[in-house]
Chains A and B, each alone.
Chain A
């Protein structure tokens, strides 16, 4: 019945202040990479965390979350630990906050294989060294003796990737894995992650605020606003023909390296959380195309040809939304 590796339907996350994630549905197939793009408060990280039941205690999660055949909200205790350890690997924004600073890199990488996978310590060590080499960490034997503070951020993030690859999960969750890195380290880490993921046929959920980075590294890209998915499409299509005014707004308001605009086209206002949004389309107050209907009624997610757009005016606007600063300047 259900062959998607990840199948999320009607995911809602509620906090005491109000709703944070609102009716999110998406799927990821085996070996596929999905990028989820959003600004702060859009609910993108919460959505990723819900996939491994890592949402904070005060939050109520409802809807269906199925990952690798498991009904995630129903997992408890030992089953949950095994699911987290074996089916999913997670890479976070700040590796320093997730690697024990008083244990060596060797302990961090080898121990899970010995304890969780019952491998012999010397075999586990050999395997870890091989993976370190593949992710471009030179001089692996010395690295294993080092401690996290002795490694740069880029190097530590590769250690993090190595630890995820060693666990052989079916799915990698990467939450802003390069945001704390320089542009050159970012390109390097994303290239390694993409290459290793493809080689091993792993699926990826990539959370980022950078639409261009997501589109460059993922098969499909989803855009989140105020706790809702507003658009999902294959990455090339999304960049060439954005279907939602918010997607287009993100693309044109980002400065360009090739062109200097007299003024950047601006999306007025600030991003809001789901519970701050009105009864209509959450983006309507900031949208240049909003009409009365947009403020009254929630747009439904409409699918056609693998593309999903939640916008009342999607059909009218199709193909006309700008993708670059130049187009905006020309159109006034």
Chain B
């Protein structure tokens, strides 16, 4: 498995990625959110980025999506290096078909004034699916994410959190991307619904050969969904490896600390008893 992964060309390749933000409290100073991060994602592979809040994992996702401009490093998607100039209309459409994202909060990531059908429909138009066949494709996509055709006529507010997240996934899939970024995409869901969406994501990956970049702080969820994982702390990778190995035998003290904090039967919470770093 590992060998065949190496032979394939990566659909996503990141080298020396960095992002510094101006520090609002000190003029002329900077805080480094992401510091020399590099990784590859092979076609059809699922890579998890694990870290706590402030570790820089969401900033990585935002740079991949073009929502932030990197201060340094190189991003290669589907063999094309992303330059930092403002992309034109054609280029943006091309990028949309390579990389899509599902956000954490299904309550704020869908347009409340559009029906589910229209939301998915618009993505199809962006991909250039002929108008005549869009309706049928919308139905297929809704079915693929476990919704019924009648859900298409509803507004996001009429749906539950789990159903909304399925719509967000359908919207992303409508562009037939090679890579799907899932930024804490199941974190806001109820336990019983979370399992359904995780199974759905596993099925979709198998059927469509999608690659996932799964961003999460939840190691149990990461164990379920990813082949490999990288652990991010203060913007740097402190450990990486195949997920089962990383969780069974963590090498870095920080990974061990993360693992020890996951509630499970027989677990007792421990005080860190060291001063917690103040917020920036």
Contact = CB atoms under 8 A, between A and B. Distances in A.
Interface of A: 39-40, 136, 138-139, 149-155, 182-188, 190-192, 194-195, 209-213, 215-217, 239, 249-250, 253-261, 263-268, 270-271, 286, 323
Contacts of A185: 52, 276
Contacts of B277: 152
A237 to B, nearest CB: 12
B171 interface: no
A212 B276 contact: no
Given A215-B265, A216-B269, A255 B220 contact: yes
B31 interface: no
A257 B220 contact: yes
A217 B263 CA distance: 10
A253 B195 contact: yes
B270 A187 contact: yes
Interface stretch (B8-16, B110-118, B253-261): B253-261
B190 A187 contact: no
Given A194-B269, A253-B192, A187 B261 contact: yes
A271 B224 contact: no
Contacts of B210: none
Nearest to B247: A257
B57 to A, nearest CB: 11
Nearest to A138: B275
Nearest to B25: A150
A139 B275 contact: yes
Contacts of A211: 191
B190 A190 contact: no
A257 B199 contact: no
A270 B163 CA distance: 9
B223 interface: yes
Interface in B127-155: none
Nearest to A180: B53
14 contacts: A39-B192, A136-B276, A153-B279, A183-B258, A183-B261, A184-B257, A190-B269, A211-B191, A216-B263, A253-B192, A253-B194, A255-B195, A255-B198, A258-B247
A149 B191 CA distance: 31
Contact of B191 (A184, A254, A323): A254
B262 interface: yes
B43 interface: no
Given A39-B192, A152-B278, A152-B279, A136 B273 contact: yes
Contacts of A182: 52-53, 217
B268 interface: yes
A88 B275 CA distance: 29
Interface string B210-222: 0000000111110
B271 A213 contact: no
B261 A257 contact: no
Contacts of A187: 260-261, 263, 269-270, 272
B162 interface: yes
A249 B193 CA distance: 11
B43 to A, nearest CB: 21
Contact of B244 (A212, A260, A261, A266): A260
B223 A155 contact: no
A270 B197 CA distance: 12
Contacts of B193: 39, 270-271
Given A155-B276, A184-B272, A249 B263 contact: no
A257 B275 contact: no
Contact of B262 (A151, A183, A323): A183
Contacts of A215: 265
Given A136-B271, A270-B192, A271-B192, 20 more contacts: A39-B190, A136-B276, A186-B269, A191-B268, A191-B269, A209-B190, A216-B269, A249-B192, A250-B192, A253-B191, A253-B195, A254-B220, A255-B198, A255-B223, A256-B264, A257-B247, A260-B223, A261-B224, A264-B198, A270-B163
Nearest to A253: B195
A61 B267 CA distance: 37
A253 B198 CA distance: 10
The listed residue with most A CB atoms (<10 A of its CB), out of B264, B268, B270, B275, is B264
B24 to A, nearest CB: 11
A263 B265 contact: no
A286 to B, nearest CB: 8
Contact of B190 (A40, A255, A268): A40
Nearest to B52: A182
A265 B263 contact: no
A177 to B, nearest CB: 12
Given A183-B261, A217-B269, A271-B190, A256 B276 contact: no
Contacts of A261: 224
A181 B217 CA distance: 10
B226 to A, nearest CB: 10
